Amino acid sequence: MTDARLGPGSTVGPGRPYRDRDSLVAEIQGFLRTHGARIADDNRRISVYFEILVFHHCVQYYAARGFTVVPRGVAPRGDGERTFRHKCGPEGSPDNFSYFRASRATGAADEVLEVRQNVRTAATYDDTVLYTPDVVVLREGSIRTVTRLDYRRGERALHFAGNGGLVTFVEAKHMAPFPELIATFVGLAYELCPEYLRTQVPSGDHLAPALAVSGAPNAPMEALGACPSIRR
């Protein structure tokens, strides 16, 4: 679990947002400007801005580890600027939204990833069971498009990532942490990335599944964090 209280505008305290809305928007816009783009809509709920900021932090994580990160699906505007369309919900084709491609040389072949938001992703044990994490890191080309009778009566295409293409995921919640939230996150990790819950952590320097929260932990959460390692 990560406590993402970073940067100016902090309002640290039990249950309080770690940043105000204006500072969130300023950092989001600043990050996108470094990639020659701007946000598509700057009139959103603060919980959405928090999710976008966590998404950007995931991109920065991979950039700091030698990946070349490049925005994809960025639409030109009439004024010459490019618009980054964040996918802030499960609906819609991923092809209609922007994402970051992350690549680095790894000997014989490049390692190529896609850092995306809100892409339906199949469970480890059954690709008909789908979850939608806030941020996913996928191997390039992992998103499938199918038609299924159990989805919108087969009248609309279903877009999802196969579990074999999932590298990791992050949940971003604009709230204070509480035990049920942690339990839900662990359950999601078990469904999507159970290998991270085993004794042997996968090799490499990818992010482990993570939960980013904007509020500070209260006393019960502090006690939960102090539990024996069997709970971690």
Give the confidence band of 3 by pLDDT, cuts at 50, 70, 90: very low
Q: Which two tokens stand for residue 165?
A: 């293409």
Where exactly are the structural domains of the chain? 20-169
**DSSP summary character for residue 70:** E
> CB–CB of 115/63 below 8 Å?
no
Q: Which two tokens stand for residue 118?
A: 């809100």
- Which pTM does this prediction carry? 0.86
3-state secondary structure at position 169: strand
> CB–CB of 216/15 below 8 Å?
yes
Q: Which two tokens stand for residue 1?
A: 């679990």
Give the pLDDT confidence of 140-198 residue by residue, as tens digits. 999 998 887 777 777 788 899 999 999 999 999 998 888 889 899 999 999 999 988 87
93's CB contacts (< 8 A; 6+ apart) are 145, 157, 159
Residue 115's DSSP bridge partners are: 100, 137
The pairing of beta strand 82-84 with beta strand 38-39: parallel
Give the pLDDT confidence of 74-123 residue by residue, as tens digits. 988 766 678 999 999 998 899 999 999 999 987 777 899 999 999 999 99
